[in-house]
Amino acid sequence: MCKKILNPVLAILSFFYLCGCGPHSTKSDLPVYLDDNSPVNERISDALSRMTLKEKVAMCHAQSKFSSAGVPRLGIPEIWTTDGPHGIRPEVLWDEWNQAGWTNDSCTAYPALTCLAATWNSDMSLLYGKSIGEEARYRNKNILLGPGVNIYRTPLNGRNFEYMGEDPFLSSAMVVPYIKGVQSNGVAACVKHFALNNQERYRGFINVNVSDRALHEIYLPAFKAAVKKGKVWALMGAYNQYKNQHCCENEILLRKILRDKWHFDGVAISDWNGTHNTMEAVKNGLDIEYGTEISEKGKSDSYDHYFMAGPYLNLIRGGELDTTELNEKARNILRLELRTNMNRKRPFGSFANPAHSAADLAIAEEGIVLLKNDGNILPINDNKVKSIAVIGENAIKMMTVGGGSSSLKVKYEILPLEGIEKRAGKDIKVTYERGYIGDTEGSYNGVNSRQNLSEKRSAAKLIEDAVAAAGKADYVIYVGGLNKSEGQDCEGADRKGLELPYGQDKLIDALSDVNKNMVVINISGNAVAMPWKNKVPAIIQGWYLGSEAGNALAAVLFGDVNPSGKLPFTFPQKLSDSPAFAMGEYPGKDGQETYNEGIFVGYRYADEKKTDPLFCFGYGLSYTSFKYEDITIDRSEFDGKGSVKISVRIKNTGNRAGKEIAELYIKDPESSLPRPPKELKGFSKIALEPGESKIVTFNLTLHDLEYYDPEAGKWKAEKGVFEALVGSSSRDIKGSARFNLTKTTYEED
């Protein structure tokens, strides 16, 4: 990493201390906190007793774009962060966003988190976290800035591709193994953005007005799971405001919920430039401030002017603050140090190796969603198809560059056209036409794709040439959708509309008129409108798939892999079908936005209003077929203790091996407060050979039956009849079982 060189003597002393063998002659001179056999709290207390006031304050704010200070005198290292959550960011200069120019920091790109969520497979999430954690560890990073678990509230949010969909249960189930995988490498995962960061437009100041019930039922569960089940070591605040207080210094979120209620013992860090007030940040639980923009640019001591730097020190020296909060922050930071770069047992990691490429490919293949396959035109039959026309800019455009802080410098990226050509081999002729002009620049945040996407042909000529190629081919594979440029799937701005950009709808219409064997691959992290849905026989949701994108898509197209992904969010027919537009006040006015839809987000809203989505939550097709039968429940009376077991037998009735995701929803028809018609409370992904059947069992506990009671300020389950719904999507329920909850006495976790 590109950082200032320490005094050589201090550097040597730090090394000796870290090794537990400082240059002192007696054992009593060695800091107790460096003795691995001592209790953690003892080691932290010993370190605190040796630190000066200035050293403690220095640990609470950045010293460069991506690092904060240690205490070299005591052998406490610096903390280095890196952007994720889809790959390890290239090195930048000490206090600039410009690239450092390293030649060995090209990483593996993993699929966007929407794709990970679409696998509905916790094993894939664990593999993802372990793999990306190995790369972060190898680069000696202490905090990976991810994963993101903000809820998909509007399909226009430019950052939805970094999150895990619209459902709090699915997001919670997928985030926990990701965190455990990352942290198994001695690298802290940093779950973000806490909380209510559900749009990029006005993100720096918009104040979100949301009911307590919606906050706890929809927007907080994944964060709660990350803290209580994932034991995450770091958490990042959001840019927006809640209760008219910025989230990075928010008393309710950071102090009352995160610390007091969830007992979080990690570090709370600010998003870059997300801190605004010294007193509020100090009092309300922020531990480390990063990225604050100082008005006097180029000032040599700019980091000393951060809110948590000189101003904080002056408040203590002036008697306006004591050191209570400071010692708490220092404890949290030292605990992080002991978990990460002062943990001598952590592995060494590895970087951009074949195992990581294989992990990317496996996750990408499982996350691809087959949305439509009329006439079973997929998979492509090698023996019958002699020519394929690949059309669309996204077939040749790198998608690892762009999107905001998740933009990557990758070791390689297999583009869709490359993957298709390689898989088609010599016996199938593959031609390519661009069809439309999108973003030709290919650079973001100092990373350049080095692609030459310039185009001399007019828009009309591009369509003409594409239609001509389509008319001559046996199959048309259209690769379009969004990209990661500003105003699409990109941090810092929201999309302008639900439709595809660059006139793609017109192009798809024209292509479908001349070739009925057409496959549309939508590359995006968001839902898009599809006015041509009924004209094309096959549609694939292709996401942003990382380094192995082209190979993953080709494997699904040709049937080497049977698609098994399902949608982690609803595709609405039109914007007015999205609750943020139908009932909410997106994007807000005069700095305020109210979530009038409350708990009715995504499929909950569609079910409540009985609207027909373009594609529903939990939906995805396969090249085989599955039959659900023998749905049983182990008891009809539930006293709230243990669990209710719901079982279903699933059989592969087709002629291909495949994977099916069984989904369990709960309906509470007798609730005293309005509840959605159904809520996801379980899922299981199983692999089945042709003719094979397996029994899937779900365990429902009392907590799965709860709603948040805003009057009582706690979770509550009510006695009465519940219905367990088992299906292959939120709109394809195969059967149900009813049971009666007779008692509700329990200890809230």
Q: Where residue 294 falls among pLDDT bands split at 50, 70, 90?
A: confident
SS3 236: strand
DSSP line for 450-506: -------S-HHHHHHHHHHHHHHSSEEEEEEE--SSTTSS-TTS--S-SSPSTTHHH
Contact 578, 604 (CB under 8 A): no
Of 83-97, 129-143, 516-530, minimum mean pLDDT range: 83-97
- β-bridge mates for residue 709, sequence order: 714
Phi, psi of 76 (to 5 degrees): -95, 115
Residue 254 has pLDDT above 80, yes or no: yes
Residue 5 has pLDDT above 60, yes or no: no
Contact 618, 566 (CB under 8 A): yes
DSSP code at position 150: -
Write the single-letter amino acid at 116. Answer: L
Confidence at residue 216, expressed as pLDDT on a 0 to 100 scale: 98
> 3-state SS string over 521-541?
EEECCCCCCCCCHHHCCEEEE
733 secondary structure, DSSP code: E
Residue for token pair 């990226």 = 413
Q: What per-residue confidence (pLDDT) applies to 114?
A: 98
Euclidean distance between CA atoms 305 and 95, whole angstroms: 14
Across the strands, what pairs with 363? none
Q: Where are the domains of the chain?
A: 53-105+119-339, 354-609, 626-741
| Residue 353 identity | N
Lowest mean pLDDT among 90-104, 373-387, 415-429, 607-621: 90-104
What 3-state DSSP class applies to 593?
strand
Q: Which parts of 425-493 fold into alpha helices (H)?
A: 459-472
What is the third-level CATH fold of 626-741? Immunoglobulin-like (2.60.40)
pLDDT tens digits for 530-572?
A: 999 999 999 999 999 999 999 999 999 999 999 999 999 999 9
What residues pair up with 592 in beta bridges, in sequence order?
207, 589
Each residue of 196-244: pLDDT tens digit? 999 999 999 999 999 999 999 999 999 999 999 999 999 999 999 999 9
The answer to whether the CB of 626 falls within 8 A of the CB of 653 is yes
Give the strand order in the sheet containing 626-633.
626-633, 644-652, 693-700
What confidence category does residue 415 fall into, taking pLDDT thresholds of 50, 70 and 90? very high
Query: In this predicted structure, what is the pLDDT of residue 35?
Result: 55
Tally helices (H) and strands (E) across the chain: 18, 28
Q: Which of 341, 423, 363, 375 is nearest to 136 (CA)?
A: 341
Exposure string for 553-589, b = 16+ CB within 10 A, e = fewer: bbbbbbeebbbbbbbbbbbbbebebbbbbbbbebbbe
For residues 364 and 543, what is the distance between their CA atoms, to the nearest angstrom? Answer: 9
Residues in the chain: 749
Q: CA 377 → CA 83, 301, 381, 640, 665, distances in Å? A: 41, 64, 9, 49, 32
What type of residue is 203?
R
Q: What is the pLDDT of residues 432-476, one digit of tens each?
A: 999 999 999 888 877 888 899 999 999 999 999 999 999 999 999
User: How is domain 354-609 classified at the architecture level of CATH?
Assistant: 3-Layer(aba) Sandwich (3.40)
Prior bond to 216 cis, omega within 30?
Answer: no
* Pairing of β 707-709 and β 714-716: antiparallel
Mean pLDDT, all residues of the chain: 93
Q: Which residue has the tokens 């207390």?
A: 45
Nearest to 668 by CA among 681, 659, 656: 681
Element containing residue 736 per DSSP (H, E): strand 732-741
Q: Is the pLDDT of residue 8 over 50?
A: no
Kindly tell me if the per-residue pLDDT of 157 is higher than 60: yes
Closest CA to 682 of 659, 665, 658: 665
For the stretch 465-515, pLDDT in tens is 999 999 999 999 999 999 999 999 999 999 999 999 999 999 999 999 999
CB 168 within 8 A of CB 214: no
Q: What is the pTM of this model?
A: 0.94
Tokens (6 digits) for 687: 């692999």
Q: In this predicted structure, what is the pLDDT of residue 28?
A: 35
Q: Bigger pLDDT: 578 or 23? A: 578
pLDDT at 17 > cutoff 70: no
pLDDT of residue 16: 37
Q: From CA 684, how far away is CA 662, in angstroms rounded?
A: 5
Residue 460 CB contacts under 8 Å (≥ 6 apart), including other chains: none
Give the Cα separation of 649 and 627 in Å (integer): 8
**Type and span of the H or E element at 40:** helix 40-50
**Active-site choice (271, 439, 577, 704):** 271
CA atoms of 245 and 240, how far apart (whole Å): 8
Lowest-pLDDT range, 26-40, 120-134, 525-539, 565-579? 26-40
Question: Measured between alpha carbons, how far is 725 from 737 in angstroms, rounded to an integer?
Answer: 7
> Within a 13 Å sphere around the CA of 469, how many CA atoms are in the beta-carbon half?
23
Q: Give CA separation, 311 vs 41, 318, 320, 327, 356, in Å.
A: 29, 10, 11, 17, 44
Q: Read off the pLDDT band of 301 (50, 70, 90).
A: confident
Is the fold of 354-609 the same as that of 626-741? Answer: no
Q: What percent of the chain lies above the pLDDT cut of 70?
A: 94
Dist. CA 743–CA 746, nearest whole Å:
9
Task: Write out the two tokens for 299.
Answer: 């000032």
Distance CA 356, CA 136 (A): 12
Q: Residue 20: is its pLDDT beyond 80?
A: no
Q: Kindly tell me if the per-residue pLDDT of 71 is higher than 70.
A: yes
**Per-residue pLDDT for 285 more than 70?**
yes
Examine the pLDDT at 30 and tell me if it is beyond 90.
Answer: no
Check residue 591 and give its pLDDT: 96
46 is a catalytic site residue? no
In this structure, are residues 447 and 107 in contact, taking their beta carbons and an 8 Å threshold? no
Peptide bond just before 31 cis, omega within 30 deg: no
Check whether 29 has a pLDDT greater than 50: no
Task: Tell me the β-bridge partners of 447.
Answer: 444
Beta bridge partners of 661: 685
What pLDDT is recorded for position 345?
Answer: 92
Neighbours of 495 (CB within 10 A): 23
Q: Is the pLDDT of residue 11 over 70?
A: no
pLDDT at residue 739, rounded to an integer: 97
pLDDT tens for 629-648 read 999 999 999 999 999 999 99
- The answer to whether residues 409 and 60 touch, using CB atoms and an 8 Å cutoff, is no
Please check the confidence at residue 748 and state whether its pLDDT lies above 70.
no
Cβ-contact 269, 190 below 8 angstroms: yes
- Whether residue 621 is predicted with pLDDT greater than 70 in this model: the reply is yes
Question: How much is the average pLDDT of 393-416?
Answer: 96
Where does residue 744 fall: left (phi above 0), alpha (psi -120 to 50 degrees), or beta otherwise? alpha
CATH number of 53-105+119-339: 3.20.20.300
Nearest-angstrom CA–CA distance, 593 and 587: 7
Q: Which of 266, 183, 182, 181 is nearest to 223 (CA)?
A: 266
